[in-house]
Amino acid sequence: MSNETSHVHSSTVSVPHETHHEVHHGHHHETFLTKYVFSQDHKTIAKQFLITGMFWALLGGLFSVIFRLQLGFPDAKFPWMEALLGEWAKGGQLQAEAYYALVTMHGTVLVFFVLTAGLSGTFSNFLIPLQVGARDMASPFMNMLSYWFFFIASVVMLSSLFVQTGPFSGGWTAYPPLSALGEASPGSKVGMDLWLVSMALFVVSSLLGGLNYIATVLNMRTKGMSMTRMPLTIWAFFFTAVLGVLSFPVLFSGFILLIFDRHFGTSFYLSDIYINGQALPNEGGSAILYQHLFWFLGHPEVYIILLPAMGMASEILSVNSRKPIFGYMAMIGSLFAITILAFLVWAHHMFVTGLNPFLGAFFVLLTLLIAVPSAIKVFNWLTTIWRGNIRFTPAMLFALGFVSLFISGGLTGIFLGNSALDIQLHDTYFVIAHFHIVMGVASMFGMFAGIYHWYPKMYGRYLNNTLGYIHFWITMVGAYLIFWPMHYEGLAGMPRRYYKYDIWESFKQFGELNKFISIVAIIVFLVQILFIFNFFYSIWKGRKVTTQNPWGANTLEWTTPINPGHGNWDGEIPEVHRWAYDYGKDGQDHIAQTVPVGANESKH
């Protein structure tokens, strides 16, 4: 296929292909264990995050298929389900308890393990050293620890699926009292303890990673790579890390209090509770306190998930339009504004908790303000591709899909941000539709775009394009078919997190629609398996990359050898002389960052 540009061997490639190996550095012999398992090479760690994330995406996706079957076909019996899930699907019918467990695990896994660890963990790790011109992270050892904490967190979470009382089932937000009282539900017992241990390990992993990303971006840039010459990907990863480092500890403090409520008899979140007619002794606590602590992380978290996708989309849109990014400084400014605002809007998740309406008004204002930097970004993406020489690679398609989804999902955010409208919309399918489109699917698209685009750098081979196009189109159409109708259900008041809707006459009208949604969800899930097949097949059998810079891009990662070793560049780290977006300038297709500014060059 015609992905490769023909101008690769122009003067813009400044680092010779295979420079001689520097003997005096000495070959340290790497065993299988240090090279692939306990590796400190940021590129290997990135792949470890990616593959672990893909495992979780597959499992989390499978969960959603199973509970969608329940929602679409509440009366049907699936004997195979009993074979697969045993007690959970007695008589081939998913049990209510199992339904809640699956919904909870789906949310937890997708938000934290796939779209946080799988996304930032993969691409911050992979791209930060390569694009700022560093041999590795500031602390490769801490970086390795970051992965292994994530790995252990994964094992613990996975193990909670196999305990007798089942995994936690009180929703991904883990509100007390369901999360604080073991007697509240089966999933609130061991399952919740494992959930907490796993999440605590996960927070440690995120913090170790985030510290490293920040330190690397600020301290390890190569000569000439000033902050304002960094690609937007790096800016996005940087702000993502800042968000994580400042908000995860607050969640952690909330978890500590929760652990004490669960096991040591404190009453931070508990007050006046009856279980089975029995009054509990706890007094003076407040469940709302947990919500504040949770959403103080929770809202920044949604941007932790989104910003990397934004950064990668910016880069991929520019490269594949053969045009400079429009409004580079405005892009950084809006990332910055989003980062600040992300800390100031958490209570928009709590409009109906009895929040003081006066306070609510401020949160409405600040929430709606986010629309401004978001709109700036959208405007700049559209003007970047405007009249460009667009190359519709799979990566580019996913980046375009990302922009489309971000617009659609962002618009519904403006509905929800109004506290008065939110009284009707809160906890309905409207919210589900909103955040799946704007965060879930959009960030998945950012991730897919990143994988298709940087796969050649990761594995020295291409992903299969035809499979890529199939993957894109079915996922794109499918995502809208799944989530668009949910807006209508939500506007009609259909609540989320319900096992069955048969007691409501008014929601009977959505029976067929729910079937439709479930069927599309299954198809989309199957296409993701196709992608995973493509991924692994191409590692060994994909078309080989034969040129250093297959996309004709300006950034530094394409100046490394096709299969870079630990340390990335064979010789000196190249020096940087310009920003990353000189495409189509002065009649040149692209000018790499390593090319000195010529005497007669025009300004950008």
Partner 1 sequence: MEKVMSSERTQKMHPHRFTLWVAIGSISMMFAGFTSAYIVKSNQAGWQAVQVPKIFYLSTVLMIASSVTVFLAQKAMKGREMARYRLLISATVILGLAFVATQFIGFTELWANKITFSESVAGSFFYIITGVHALHVAGGIIALTVLFFRAYNSKTKYYSTAPVETAGLYWHFVDILWIYLFVFFLLVS
Binding site for Cu ion (CB under 5 A): 299
Query: Residue 131: CB partners within 8 Å, gap ≥ 6?
Result: 230, 231, 233, 234, 555, 556, 557, 580
The site map against ligand HEM for 423-452 (x = CB under 6 A) is: --xx----x--xx--xx-------------
Alpha helices, H only, 417-464: 419-425, 429-435, 442-459
Q: Which does 370 bind (CB under 5 to 8 A by kind): ligand HEM, partner 1, Cu ion, none?
A: ligand HEM
- For position 416 contacting ligand HEM by CB under 6 A, the verdict is yes
Q: Which does 79 bind (CB under 5 to 8 A by kind): Cu ion, ligand HEM, partner 1, none?
A: none
- Using the contact rule CB under 6 A, the part of the chain among 77-85, 367-375, 559-567, 579-587 near ligand HEM is 367-375
Name the residues that contact partner 1, by CB under 8 A: 25-26, 28, 40, 134-136, 138-140, 142, 207, 210-212, 214-215, 218-223, 245-250, 252-254, 256-257, 260, 264-268, 281-286, 289, 292-293, 296, 566-567, 572-573
Beta pairing class for 278-279 and 583-585? unpaired
Please report, as a single letter, which amino acid is at residue 364. Answer: V
Cis peptide bond N-terminal to 177, omega within 30: yes
Rounded CA-CA distance 60/172 in Å is 12
Rounded CA-CA distance 494/427 in Å is 9
Q: In the numeric block, which tokens belong to residue 479? A: 């995502």
- Using the contact rule CB under 6 A, the part of the chain among 83-91, 301-309, 459-467, 592-600 near ligand HEM is 301-309
Q: How far is the CB of 71 from ligand HEM (least distance, A)?
A: 17
- For position 370 contacting ligand HEM by CB under 6 A, the verdict is yes
Of 229 and 348, which CB lies nearer to ligand HEM in the complex structure? 348
Q: How far is the CB of 372 from ligand HEM (least distance, A)?
A: 9
Please report, as a single letter, which amino acid is at residue 467. Answer: L
- For position 349 contacting ligand HEM by CB under 6 A, the verdict is yes
Rounded CA-CA distance 178/184 in Å is 6
CA proximity to 121, closest of 51, 189, 195, 194: 51
- Using the contact rule CB under 6 A, the part of the chain among 3-11, 98-106, 219-227, 303-311 near ligand HEM is 303-311
Rounded CA-CA distance 256/201 in Å is 13
Q: How far is the CB of 64 from Cu ion (least distance, A)?
A: 21
- For position 291 contacting ligand HEM by CB under 6 A, the verdict is no
Helix (H, G, I), strand (E, B) or coil at 535: helix
Q: In the numeric block, which tokens belong to residue 550? A: 């297959």
DSSP 3-state percent helix, strand, coil across the chain (nearest 5): 65, 0, 30
Of 46 and 347, which CB lies nearer to Cu ion in the complex structure? 347
Of 225 and 306, which CB lies nearer to Cu ion in the complex structure? 306
Of 134 and 312, which CB lies nearer to ligand HEM in the complex structure? 312
Of 299 and 590, which CB lies nearer to Cu ion in the complex structure? 299
Q: Which does 27 bind (CB under 5 to 8 A by kind): ligand HEM, Cu ion, partner 1, none?
A: none
CA proximity to 262, closest of 180, 354, 193, 332: 180
The answer to whether 220 and 132 are in contact (CB under 8 A) is: yes
Find the binder of ligand HEM among 53, 140, 177, 417 (CB under 6 A).
417
Helix (H, G, I), strand (E, B) or coil at 592: coil
Look up residue 274 and give its DSSP letter.
E
Q: How far is the CB of 564 from partner 1 (least distance, A)?
A: 12
Q: Return the residue nearest Cu ion (CB atom).
A: 299
Query: Residue 221: CB partners within 8 Å, gap ≥ 6?
Result: 132, 133, 134, 227, 230
Longest dimension (CA), the chain: 84
- For position 487 contacting ligand HEM by CB under 6 A, the verdict is no
Q: In the numeric block, which tokens belong to residue 416? A: 């929800």
Q: How far is the CB of 417 from ligand HEM (least distance, A)?
A: 3
The answer to whether 128 and 217 are in contact (CB under 8 A) is: yes
Q: Which does 438 bind (CB under 5 to 8 A by kind): ligand HEM, Cu ion, partner 1, none?
A: ligand HEM
Q: How far is the CB of 410 from Cu ion (least distance, A)?
A: 12
> Which residues lie near ligand HEM (CB under 6 A)?
173, 302-303, 305-306, 348-349, 367, 370-371, 374, 410, 413-414, 416-417, 422, 425-426, 431, 434-435, 438-439
